[in-house]
Chain A
Amino acid sequence: EVQLMQSGSEVKKPGESLRISCKGSGFSFTNYWITWVRQMPGKGLEWMGRIDPTDSETNYSPSFQGHVTISTDKSITTAYLQWSSLRASDTAMYYCARPVGPGTDALDVWGQGTMVSVSS
């Protein structure tokens, strides 16, 4: 079964660091970009960025560039989303997703989401 399995929910304080993960299985991990999407409480979807596990090439939305880091360890078919200093405004659900195929960003496989709560 093709799936993306995300790490569990997190409760953090402002200024703390965090890395959440997204493990792919059932498909050739290096054949698909992995995209990260944010959904703040009660709000719409925001495209954060994506990574090519083959060579770790990344594309970031300017809205997130410099505040998050997307990385991957293809040896364990896992992608990561990382913060060095969290803010209260990072409180959101974060999804990883995989496209239908190369040359498209139609996201047909999604992780279950990781809820990140940041509060003092």
Chain B
Amino acid sequence: DIQMTQSPSSLSASVGDRVTITCQASQDINNYLNWYQQKPGKAPKLLIYDASNLETGVPSRFSGSGSGTDFTFTISSLQPEDIATYHCQQYDTLPHTFGQGTKLEIK
């Protein structure tokens, strides 16, 4: 299986801060990388697909970049409603593994 390593595992930031989460794949996954947001007690929500494409209706403060093995997810200006856990997922090779998640909290 391809291992997806997210960093950090948790993060505390202030409203208005720029927040960056990284996801590293154990092998080249091209740009087949998705990012999800999951709020407590809720199902995950797709934010970014194919590394950098913003899902319809998702605010533009969210963005993604990268290719190959190294990917970055960014919130340009953190809002209170962004408090959640963020997950990356590769779908280059079966099984389509997820990272371990990054829990984002307000400082």
Contact = CB atoms under 8 A, between A and B. Distances in A.
Contact of A45 (B44, B91, B94): B44
Contacts of A105: 32, 34, 89, 91, 96
Tell me whether chain B's interface is mostly helix, strand or loop, or mixed.
Answer: loop
21 contacts: A35-B96, A37-B44, A37-B98, A43-B101, A44-B101, A46-B98, A47-B95, A47-B96, A49-B95, A62-B1, A100-B46, A100-B49, A100-B55, A104-B91, A105-B32, A105-B89, A105-B91, A105-B96, A106-B55, A107-B89, A110-B44
How large, as a class, is the contact surface on chain B? Answer: 20 to 34
A30 interface: no
Interface string B78-107: 000000000101010011111111000000
Interface in A1-49: 35, 37, 43-47, 49
